[in-house]
Amino acid sequence: MLGTQPNITFAVTQLVCHTANPSQDHLNRVYYICCYLVGTQNYALVYKDNSKLGVYACTDSDWASNPDDRKSQTGYYIMIAGGVFSWVSKTQRTVALSFTEAEYMALSDYSCQYI
């Protein structure tokens, strides 16, 4: 997931939280991800040497998405030459007290990786 499939990072990260006691719904979601992977096995990251974009990056977060601990989810990606080379989807370490604070935490994590 982390090395080859950035498109399933969030879904797998959420399912990993339930590995100790999975329900049938969790197993159905794992099956759905496996079917998705079979259907997209010929997809690839492509880097273009004539890309005019240079380095391009995007970051985002959602505020208090986890109902159990109210932590936010952070995600970002960095592209170079038209292809993604770094991406993350993870739960923030601390609880954000506002949407703006969650966005700043995401921006801080992204900035460290970008630099």
37 and 54 assigned to the same domain: no
64 and 12 assigned to the same domain: no
Q: How confident is the model at residue 27 (pLDDT cuts 50, 70, 90)?
A: very high
59 and 34 assigned to the same domain: no
Q: What is the token pair recorded at 79?
A: 């592209």
**What is the Cα–Cα distance from 74 to 88, expressed in whole angstroms?**
8
pLDDT of 61-81, one tens digit each?
888 777 788 888 888 888 888
Domain that holds residue 15: 1-44
Residues with Cβ within 8 Å of 57's Cβ and at least 6 positions away in sequence, in order, are 76, 77, 78, 79, 110, 114
pLDDT of 79-101, one tens digit each?
888 788 788 888 888 888 888 88
Q: How confident is the model at residue 45 (pLDDT cuts 50, 70, 90)?
A: confident
Q: How confident is the model at residue 111 (pLDDT cuts 50, 70, 90)?
A: confident
49 and 29 assigned to the same domain: no
17 and 67 assigned to the same domain: no
Instruction: Look at residues 73, 44, 79, 83 and name the one whose alpha carbon lies nearest to residue 58.
Output: 79
Q: Is the pLDDT of residue 2 over 60?
A: no
68 and 36 assigned to the same domain: no
Please provide the average confidence, as pLDDT, over all residues in the chain. 83
Tally of domains in the chain: 2
79 and 103 assigned to the same domain: yes
64 and 112 assigned to the same domain: yes
Whole-prediction pTM: 0.59
Quote the pLDDT of residue 51. Answer: 67
